[in-house]
Structure 1
Amino acid sequence: MKVKKMLQQDRWLVPFLKQQKTGLFWSIILSFMTIFAAAGLMFISGYLISRAAQRPDNILLIYVPIVLTRGFGIARPIFRYAQRLVSHNWVLRFVSKSRQRLYDSVASSASKIRGQLQTGEVLSLLADDLDRLQNLYLRTIFPLGAGILLYLFVAIGFGVVNWLFMLWWFVMLAVIMIIVPLLSLLANRSRVHRQKQLQAQLYTDATDAILGLQDWISSGRQRDLVTYQGRVMADLAATKNNSMHFGWWRDFLIQMLSLILVITTLFWAGAQFSNNHIAINFIAAFTLAVFPLVDSFLGVNQGVSESSFYEDSIKRLNALPENTIKATPHLDVTDETVALKNVTFKYDDKTIIRQLNLTVVPGQKIALLGRSGSGKTTLLKLITGDILPVSGQVTIGGHDVSALQQQLSQLVAVLDQQAYLFDTSILNNVRMGNLSATDEQIKIAIQQAGLQPLIDRLPGGYNTSMQEAGTRFSGGERQRFALARILLQDAPIVILDEPTVSLDPKTEHEVLQQIFTVLADRTIIWVTHHLTGIWAVDQVYFLEKGQFTLSGTPTDLAKNATHFQQLLAMDDLG
């Protein structure tokens, strides 16, 4: 019932199976034909060897088995090759579409996913879970489908000759292909679950260790880091080793059951055909035909036993939010006015934004101040469409932001605390703001961001590699490169999410001055904790518990608002 409910709610496997059922059908049929050709080859070869050993008077008496042996010998690799082409093409289609869908889901709900999952867990989804589902098809669904067909074919084939022996085969195949796999699945489930947990933990721990490596080194705890990572890897190795031992014993049991089938088939064929000079050749034929079937039995058993891996991967993928970017018509936005009307937003049962109203006209500069947890970041996410309000409306140019998802990057640009810079050239990094921009346009944006003196000092100039996360440059330089991206993006609305929080006061002042100078003609919504550069904005809003408690121009607030005066004194800006 649990599996049935999971499949009914599945958004990753079942829809693709329905869309690509023709390819699935032919993959299973070709798998069956491969096994059938292998069994047919052994059957005819056994008959031919036995018949040839009787030294027939005329070669024509064994001519047909010779031709059939060649035919099955050629057919087996042909069917095998065709099956691999069809099945791998089918699986590659699935993997390609699934990866694209996963990237779209992560990209469209980045802020939500970032709040729910650690970086290592996202890497585990991308690198591990989709590969698991690829193996689900290749090692479980295809072999299982072919195995069921084989199960029916063999049972019917023996039933034509002897229905009592058909019942024996029916029971033995049920044990080998149904009972043993199910028992194996149940017995190994906890081990598989533990292995998945440890693998996911390795991803998470590895990313934490890399991102926090400097802190480990600064605290002198490198040995503790290595010891801890080694302990997790040892646990994973032990769990995998236990699973391998379990698999060996399971396969040994299948081999023993298959041996019983071979022996009973040999005795049955001897009793069935020994009284006929011609039919006696079927003793070797039936016995040898069992051996190719054993390989398929093992494949089915292994595939079903591994389904616990897939179950957890399916759950994690289905737990991801749907792609929130829907195909919508391009809307004509004329005045770029940002408006929040009676907006309320909640995380679970906690209200973060409460009945908020805000209007920002084109070209206006506003600053949002407030303590941590007051709702500033949530307010920005509402404007960028990363989250949607519980009630009320967020609009740009009179259009709801949910209807502008596909063109929102043309309207809103975001400069946050630490823009990510890639391990590629300066030109390529800045080009992220506008992929169709020319090199000349990129250079102009870099000059406007105040970076030309820096570029002139670099031996590689604009082609200098920025290294991973832009570590070649200082924090202020990295923020200026991010500003160049914003300039190149040319969006009329710019959101500044504490872009200078990690900079020293002098660099902070210089970067903010550069930002407000080059973005003078744009709308700016700026979240900040202190008041460096506050005189550059037109309006200041104080947010507390999801509502505005104080607002006004910097000049008016400096004269009349005690709280604002206290902040000015703390920042030594008065």
Structure 2
Amino acid sequence: MKKPLKHDTWVKPYMTKYKGLLTLILVLGLATFICGGALMFTSGYLISKSATRPENILLIYVPVVLTRAFGIARPVFRYVERLTSHNWVLKVTSDLRKRLYQTLARDASFFQQHFKTGDILGILADDLGHLQNLYLRTIFPTLVSWLLYVVIVIAIGYFSWFFALGIALLLFVIVVLMPLVSVAVQGARTQRQKQLQHDLYTDMTDDVLGLSDWVISGRQTDFEKRPQPTLKAARQNTLAIRRFEWWRDFLIQFIFGLVVLVIIVWTNQQFTANQSMANWIGAFVLCLFPLVDAFAPVSQGVQEWPLYRTSVERLNALKPVQRDLPQQQTLAAPVANIDFNAVDFRYTAEQALLLKQFSLHIHAGEKIAILGPSGAGKTTLLNLLLGELTPQAGQVSINQVPITALQKQRAQLIGMLDQKPFLFNTSVMNNIRLGKLNASDSAIMTALEAVELGPLMQRLPEGANTVVEEAGARFSGGEQQRLALARVLLQDAPITLLDEPTVGLDPITEKALLKTIFNVLQTKTVIWITHHLQGIEHADQIIFLEHGQIAMQGSPRELYRTNARFRKLYQMDQGLV
């Protein structure tokens, strides 16, 4: 446990930041169990005292009142402790999410290169959820049980330190030894269970998505009879975990039973001199029973540490490379040209150069289409122009100013429409307003009209105030792209990057969308990444990228007339050959 937390920056800092609230949580947790024990203590005394038929009701009035007081105080302290602990966790989680967003946003391209989308989602959902459970299920219960352990030993030590030492040894097995044994024995099993569940989700996804293929091929019987080793291994692992937990919990209860027997023996030795003292025997014995609820869950909480450890280590590994940007500048004049000057780029030192001495000069207002096979570096060019990536050699500039020196002005210079623009679960108005936060409603409606969504807005139940639903589910693929185009149009940047915005659309929708895109962006500089030649007539110049360099360059008409390879590609794309 110490090793992952030694250099931790995601758990320990918040223990210090909210130490006042944490102290209150521990005090309330301790008070809850003390009240529970005191309730049973006074109840035990009251029962014993009542059985001796006191001559006056006043002789048992105090324990009656205390029983009521502790009976009320216990649930009150428990409720307030739960509220406080969840408030603490929500504060910490809020800070963690904010920090995680800032970490991801600081160098988005780094994470795109080093983490899969599933890993990022795992960090956002799984890891932060595990940190919440780390506090609620492991840290808080363990600290409260240790504090209670100290209080019990000191309280018994008031009567007999020798007896207190014996109780301390028995409870030590429950609060320290059993949790250590649990994490040692169950740690690997718990981690394996997590991996097996991940594999089962993968298998289930494959089964669901591939079920139609099994049916079409007529192999339903083979599908049902095929071996499922992952499921079998998960069952065996779960059985091993449950078997150990049963024996461990049984042993905890057995040891706690020994503690009760020892208390009975000790109290019979200490409090049997007369009838009045004998009333304390039941009080001491009964007060122990509520305390098992404080000690028993510790082993289970500590056992889950391996799950939390993975999350802690993964979050602490989020240390993106910090780029040293040059002094930021502001373009005083309109964008006149964009230049890639002898650019070399590779993602890692072990890889070959993806771009080799790549040079390209683009005039303001030009429409450039960039084609090439997968992995040729087309999207990399856009990221270099955005400043998300830095070339190992050469320079990318706008008006001869390096793009790395224009990062603070980037939103005013460059807009982007990619393959799957994200639409948030809010109104159309709010989604479009992301392009320009201070835009008026009339400006947004003008942008929607420009991308030919005016009639659609009129048909919607609440017009442009209609909620688009999660990820834009209310609209078709073409409509989603037009909404994103309206956002880009509202942004009004002089340069627009198009990263295969028509992928997945049918030919008719694709043709109509491309016509709209180039119509509304006719005054802008457009750099368009595309995988085929649909709508290529909209481009002023075509660049065919291959092996990190320009293999073909020219206008569509010129290349079709003079370049046999381009002519063949065009004919194949149009289905003419």
- Per the normalisation by structure 1, the TM-score is 0.83
SS in 2 for 1:543: strand
| Pair 9,235 (structure 1): closer, same or farther in 2 beyond 3 Å | same
Name whichever of 10-19 and 108-117 sits farther off.
Answer: 108-117
SS in 2 for 1:414: strand
CA distance in 1, matches of 2:28, 2:556: 76
Per-residue deviation, 1:309: 2.2
Partner of 1:130: 128
CA distance in 2, matches of 1:559, 1:548: 19
CA distance in 2, matches of 1:239, 1:363: 64
Counterpart of 2:446, as a letter, is I
CA distance in 2, matches of 1:137, 1:102: 18
Please say if residues 108 and 325 of structure 1, whose CA atoms lie closer than 8 Å, have aligned partners that are also in contact.
Answer: no
Partner of 2:500: 498
Partner of 1:449: 451
Does 2:28 correspond to 1:30?
yes
| Pair 397,179 (structure 1): closer, same or farther in 2 beyond 3 Å | farther
SS in 1 for 2:522: coil
Match of 2:248 among 247, 250, 272: 250
Per-residue deviation, 1:267: 0.4
- Correspondences of 1:6-45 after superposition (within 5 Å): 6-45=4-43
SS in 1 for 2:501: coil
1:539-574 per-position Cα deviation (integer Å, ceiling 9, x unaligned): 443433334455455566567666555545655799
Per-residue deviation, 1:171: 1.3
CA distance in 2, matches of 1:40, 1:327: 64
1:150-184 per-position Cα deviation (integer Å, ceiling 9, x unaligned): 12222222223222212212211211111111111
Structure 2 unaligned residues grouped into runs of 5+: none
CA distance in 2, matches of 1:88, 1:168: 36
1:394-429 per-position Cα deviation (integer Å, ceiling 9, x unaligned): 555677656766764443222223445567776565
Counterpart of 2:354, as a letter, is I
Partner of 1:268: 266
Counterpart of 2:366, as a letter, is Q
Counterpart of 1:518, as a letter, is V
CA distance in 2, matches of 1:231, 1:196: 16
Please say if residues 532 and 573 of structure 1, whose CA atoms lie closer than 8 Å, have aligned partners that are also in contact.
Answer: no
Per-residue deviation, 1:87: 0.9
Match of 2:442 among 440, 443, 450: 440
Please say if residues 340 and 395 of structure 2, whose CA atoms lie closer than 8 Å, have aligned partners that are also in contact.
Answer: yes
CA distance in 2, matches of 1:443, 1:225: 53
| Pair 240,443 (structure 1): closer, same or farther in 2 beyond 3 Å | farther
| Pair 517,86 (structure 1): closer, same or farther in 2 beyond 3 Å | same
Per-residue deviation, 1:489: 3.0
| Pair 479,143 (structure 1): closer, same or farther in 2 beyond 3 Å | closer
CA distance in 1, matches of 2:459, 2:436: 25
- Per the normalisation by structure 2, the TM-score is 0.82
| Pair 543,297 (structure 1): closer, same or farther in 2 beyond 3 Å | same
| Pair 36,375 (structure 1): closer, same or farther in 2 beyond 3 Å | same
- Say how many residue pairs are matched: 572
Does 2:150 correspond to 1:149?
no
Partner of 1:345: 346
Counterpart of 1:349, as a letter, is E
Name whichever of 515-524 and 528-537 sits farther off.
Answer: 528-537
Match of 2:195 among 183, 194, 197: 197
Name whichever of 396-405 and 343-352 sits farther off.
Answer: 396-405
Please say if residues 346 and 353 of structure 1, whose CA atoms lie closer than 8 Å, have aligned partners that are also in contact.
Answer: no
- Correspondences of 1:28-427 after superposition (within 5 Å): 28-56=26-54, 62-105=60-103, 113=111, 122-201=120-199, 239-240=237-238, 242-275=240-273, 278-320=276-318, 322=320, 332-334=330-332, 335-336=334-335, 338-340=338-340, 342-347=343-348, 349-350=350-351, 351-390=353-392, 394-395=396-397, 408-420=410-422
Match of 2:528 among 526, 530, 537: 526
SS in 2 for 1:526: strand
Counterpart of 1:162, as a letter, is S
| Pair 450,79 (structure 1): closer, same or farther in 2 beyond 3 Å | closer
Per-residue deviation, 1:506: 5.7
- Correspondences of 1:512-551 after superposition (within 5 Å): 512-549=514-551, 551=553
Name whichever of 228-237 and 31-40 sits farther off.
Answer: 228-237
| Pair 354,218 (structure 1): closer, same or farther in 2 beyond 3 Å | farther
Please say if residues 110 and 321 of structure 2, whose CA atoms lie closer than 8 Å, have aligned partners that are also in contact.
Answer: no
Counterpart of 2:27, as a letter, is I
Question: Percent same amino acid among aligned pairs?
Answer: 47
Structure 1 unaligned residues grouped into runs of 5+: none
Per-residue deviation, 1:262: 0.4
Per-residue deviation, 1:260: 0.6
CA distance in 1, matches of 2:208, 2:390: 34
Please say if residues 111 and 320 of structure 2, whose CA atoms lie closer than 8 Å, have aligned partners that are also in contact.
Answer: no
SS in 2 for 1:346: coil
SS in 2 for 1:161: coil
The root-mean-square deviation of aligned C-alpha atoms, in Å, is 4.3
| Pair 325,90 (structure 1): closer, same or farther in 2 beyond 3 Å | farther
Please say if residues 258 and 294 of structure 1, whose CA atoms lie closer than 8 Å, have aligned partners that are also in contact.
Answer: yes
Name whichever of 424-433 and 493-502 sits farther off.
Answer: 424-433
